[in-house]
Chain A
Amino acid sequence: MGHLHPLTQIIYTAERYFRELGFTVAEGPEIESERYNFDALNIPADHPARAMQDTFYLKESVAPPSHKASEGKPLLRTHTTAVDAHYLEEHEPPFRIIAPGRVFRNEATDATHEAQFYQIDGLVVAEDVHLGHLKWILEEFYKHIFGAHLEFRWRRSFFSFVEPGVELDIKWGGKWLEVVGAGMLHPNVFAAAGRDPQKWRGLAFGTGLDRIAMIKYSISDIRLFYGGDPRFSKQF
């Protein structure tokens, strides 16, 4: 018997949980445009996340045919929320999706930071969903992974593509850990995708899968996920 990568195991665990609620999996490109990575998600042009020190832009004098000039510079997606932006534009709501995948940040690597890592985003669009549903979906998801007796703490937070925005902490090993950012999809995001914000509401969430795997499996160095060392891989 061989071994599945631990991040694959977390992704499939998430997929099984969300599929039972009627979610499907959405996929998107790893090379994105400024439009879907930022503009369509209500991230303003002067937002610090767009800066060169956080985002890998591609060095391309001639943009490849897959990229329209109007979509801005090609870049490596910095979050799987970009998949939400595509899906909302291409699919008539209502729908429920999760988007697991690889994302990139231009930052120096150490035991807790990598230039590439995995996220999962989720988006539920319907006429009658509210923040109470969002809380339930995420609380049940984290119980599914970490156990039924998990303690939660919700906080108000801020992300450009949601309003209101919230964040969830779980208690693990006696400490509160931030695990997921979420909120009600911002009306500007609906409008950018050509959907009526008066009609639809969206539950959106996004979280790092490496972090979930590190907490769950007690892995102390994120770089182990990408080294292919058999002494790591064969433990899972």
Chain B
Amino acid sequence: MELNGRFCEIESVKSTGDDWTLDVKVLPDRPDAKTPEGFARELSAIMGWPMKKGLALVADKKNARAQVQFTPQKINEILGLQLSGAEIASFLKRVRVGTKESSNVWGAYIPADRTDLNLVEDLADEVMRLYGVDNIPSVALPALNLVPLPSVYEAAQKARAILVSLGYTEIYSYSFSAAGEREVEKSLASHKSFLRTNLSDALRETLLSHLDHALFETEAARVFEIGTVFFKDREELHLAAGIAYNKEKYKKESLPSWFPHTDWSQTSVICEMPLGELVSVLAGKECPGIVPLVNLDVQYRSFSLYPRIIRDIALFVPSGVRAEDVESVIRENAGPLLAEGPVKFDEFSKAGESRTSLAFRIAFQSHKKTLSDAEANEALSSIVSALEKHPLWQVRK
């Protein structure tokens, strides 16, 4: 384990009776360590084990392949250490690099097989790996003043904050497509030979899949992407946003005036434009912050590829009972088949009545099979009986 990360990675160690076989990946800059002799030299250097005579020769003026000038100060400045010249020389000696010093200018004699050692930085690398990267102290980098962000980058961030706060979900699609103006050599598949010229095509597909998976038929799908598209003479960062109410109607819209939002009530629209056109529109604009939209604490749950079964639950509760209270009872008693919801879709109370009617939608789904109605009903009935344990809650059947 001591050897890992010094010049090689040890893949496996096997006993062959009275000896051992090591499977070792040598880092690409060290071809010299690929021979048994070279490997033995490295073992000796790192572990401090004695070498057979002849193998251990430290290079000197007569047999050196080259001489590299260095100062201990320069090596210390690269590594953030305070080693003396003698300490550095002793590290180098372990890898058979001889040294000489005159008035604080040092010369390193490079052995013939170490073709990778040519610069003072290469010597610093040798010292670093023998000293151990872990042993080099971490030192705080003093902070500097805030530096402005590129205007297009900032516009992208604002556009994202606005769109997400309006209910749009961000997607990343593929840069490769079946048609376009720039073609790649040796593409992975014929439908991935070109680079995309727009984001709208992929967005349209995504809108359809979002409609397919919506919990309510009346629910609009809202999706956007910010990404690079490629034309014959240039590449361009685009923003595309789309809203779909149903699968048939689409209106193509390309006016930047669309942004940030116009009420397209019940009209499905996809809008695409170069992000650069939005820089001035967004520059002076008050925008929702991006920070609250970032949550690293999410634990992703893989979704099932089997069909789901949707069920609704409606109940009367005394006025003052919050929908969230009911939702948590549903969630806690739904069992492992609950895949989506509960989502409240109705709430009303008649004037003069002291009770409220609430309605929630949930979806059941299994990771292992297509659910039967009976299985969904069983899960539903355990929710219903948990709700009915509250004496004043009345589930409507």
Contact = CB atoms under 8 A, between A and B. Distances in A.
Contact of B136 (A26, A132, A158): A132
A187 B138 CA distance: 23
A158 B29 contact: yes
Contacts of A89: none
B134 A154 contact: yes
A31 to B, nearest CB: 6
A90 B16 CA distance: 58
Contact of B6 (A31, A129, A156): A156
Interface string B2-40: 001111000000000000000000011110000000000
A218 B139 contact: no
Contacts of B174: 116, 226
A147 B187 CA distance: 40
A106 B186 contact: yes
B147 A156 contact: no
Contact of A31 (B143, B160, B230): B230
A219 B222 CA distance: 24
Interface string A130-160: 1111011101000001000000111111100
Given A156-B5, A164-B125, A231 B186 contact: no
B11 to A, nearest CB: 14
| Interface size of B as a range | 35 or more
B144 A228 contact: no
B183 A155 contact: no
Contacts of A27: 150, 152-153
B290 A12 contact: yes
Contact of B300 (A106, A156, A219): A219
A105 B145 CA distance: 36
Interface in A1-53: 1-10, 12-13, 16, 19-27, 29-31, 52-53
Nearest to A7: B172
A231 B157 CA distance: 24
Given A8-B160, A27-B150, A130-B77, A156 B128 contact: yes
Contact of B119 (A163, A216, A233): A163
A30 B175 contact: yes
A74 to B, nearest CB: 8
A65 interface: yes
Interface string A194-236: 0000000100000000000000111110000110111111111
Contacts of B160: 4, 8
Contacts of B169: 2-3, 230, 233-234
A151 B252 CA distance: 52
B164 A164 contact: no
A136 B302 CA distance: 35
9 contacts: A2-B165, A7-B172, A9-B296, A57-B186, A76-B175, A163-B122, A164-B79, A186-B121, A187-B121
Interface of B: 4-7, 27-30, 77-81, 119, 121-122, 124-125, 128-129, 133-134, 136-141, 143-150, 152-153, 157, 160, 163-176, 182-188, 192, 195, 202, 205-206, 209-210, 213-214, 221-223, 227-228, 230, 232-235, 290-291, 293-296, 298-303
